[in-house]
Amino acid sequence: MSLKPTDSELEILHYLWKEGPGTVRQVHEYLAATKEAGYTTTLKLMQIMHEKGLLQRSEEGRSHIYTAGVSEEETQQTLLDRFVETTFRGSAARLVMQALGNHKASQEELDEIRKLLNDIENNR
Amino acid sequence: MSLKPTDSELEILHYLWKEGPGTVRQVHEYLAATKEAGYTTTLKLMQIMHEKGLLQRSEEGRSHIYTAGVSEEETQQTLLDRFVETTFRGSAARLVMQALGNHKASQEELDEIRKLLNDIENNR
DNA sequence: TTACATCTACGAAAATCTTCGTAACAAACG
DNA sequence: CGTTTGTTACGAAGATTTTCGTAGATGTAA
């Protein structure tokens, strides 16, 4: 799966990943809460995403119910790989360090990361 | 500085960050090593980057010497912030964990990350 | 029934990014 | 001197993404 959602498409996927299946109307109202956008703009985007396979849909009366056609993890991994490549020249560690150095993480998250480090070392 | 270089622009910046100031010819040959591209394509890109402030340039005889107009760290940080926002809903920790899950780091890098974790905990 | 609201489909404009052909100019070469 | 080579400038075509207007269909209310 090397589909690469655009930023606009990602916003739509985020809604569906978080809230589950929904209509164009629901997605549109979610988007409209944070940005200007016409209803048909959202509709068209979702139609195109459906053509690309990013969304699946089923008929429900006279409207459609859309579902994410790609998983959140898989998509994030694809985008992450690409991002590491283009922005950090392939060095995931540099990305991690820059991210840690400039963002706040909770104690639980830090513990989680440390545990991951241990797992990685033990499993090779 | 909220300039957002495109992927093509990043490739040019990478050359200049790594090799220092250079001509269109030098950048073009660097790019041509890994992808198809006409000389005037590279030229045009660099002219536009100059207009945007991404590159600075000085006359040198009949050609121009270009220099990166933005720092590597600053640019990576800007792109990282944006990427965390759009792809990981603002959770840097999730990005870090997903990046680590990919097992792409060496032992030295893992040690470095662990040290960073310690520093973060000690400094709050 | 008629008018209105809501939905899909679709074409096309707008915006952005990428690519390249052509012109103009100057240096180097024969 | 004239020709070739290497450079910038510039316009425009292509590609992709985003936006939206309009038409057609169907349900809903008066």
CB contact, 8 Å: A32 with chain B? no
From the list A100, A124, A102, the residue with the least C-alpha distance to A113 is: A100
pLDDT at B41: 97
The answer to whether B86 touches A7, Cβ cutoff 8 Å, is yes
| Predicted pLDDT of residue A102 | 67
Contact B95 A99 (CB under 8 A): yes
Nearest CA in chain B to A75: B87
Question: Does residue A124 sit at the B interface (CB-CB below 8 Å)?
Answer: yes
User: In this predicted model, which residue has the larger pLDDT, A124 or B68?
Assistant: B68
Give the CA angle between residues B99, A71, A55 to the nearest 5°: 140
The predicted structure's pLDDT at residue B108? 83
Partner A contacted by B84 (CB < 8 A): yes
Supply the pLDDT for residue B97. 83
Q: Write the CATH number of the domain with boundaries B7-68.
A: 1.10.10.10
Helices B72-88, A92-102: inter-axial angle, 10-degree rounding: 80
Tokens of A57: 């849909």
Query: Looking at residue B38, what is its pLDDT?
Result: 92
Q: In a 3-state reduction of DSSP, which class is residue B89? A: coil
pLDDT tens per residue across span A42-72 = 999 999 999 999 999 998 888 999 999 999 9
Q: What share of chain B is helix, strand, coil (3-state, %, to 5)?
A: 65, 10, 25
Long-range contacts of B69-76 (CB under 8 A, 24+ apart): B70/B1, B70/B3, B70/B5, B70/B13, B72/B13, B72/B17, B73/A98, B74/B1, B75/B1, B75/B3, B75/B5, B75/B13, B76/A87, B76/A88, B76/A98
State yes or no: pLDDT of A2 exceeds 70. Answer: no
Residues 53-82 in A contacting B (C-alpha not used; CB under 8 Å)? 73, 76-77, 79-81
Mean pLDDT of A72-99: 90
Q: A122 CB near a chain B CB, below 8 Å? A: no
Average pLDDT on A16-45 reads 95
Q: Between these two residues, A94 and B105, which has the higher pLDDT value? A: A94
Model pLDDT, residue A55: 96
Res A1 pLDDT > 60: no
Query: Please, what's the largest Cα pairwise distance for chain A?
Result: 55
Q: Say how far A44 CA is from C9 C1', in Å.
A: 9
Residue A117 has its nearest CB partner, among B84, B87, B114, at B114
Please, is B18 exposed, middle or buried when counting C-beta atoms within 10 Å of its C-beta (0-12, 13-18, 19+)? exposed
Return the percentage of chain B with pLDDT > 90, whole number: 61
**Chain B: closest CA distance from residue A64 (Å):** 26
Cα R_g (chain A), whole angstroms: 18
A98: which 2 tokens?
């820059």
Domain ranges of chain A: 7-68, 72-122
Return d(Cα A97, Cα A79) in angstroms, integer.
18
Percent of chain A at pLDDT above 90?
Answer: 62
Q: Does B101 touch chain A (CB under 8 A)?
A: yes
Distance of C1' in C25 from CA in B61, Å: 13
Residue of B nearest to A113 (CA): B97
Per-residue pLDDT of chain B (124 residues; tens, 9 = 90+): 568 999 999 999 999 999 999 999 999 999 999 998 899 999 999 999 999 999 999 988 889 999 999 999 999 999 999 999 999 988 888 888 888 887 667 788 788 888 888 888 887 6
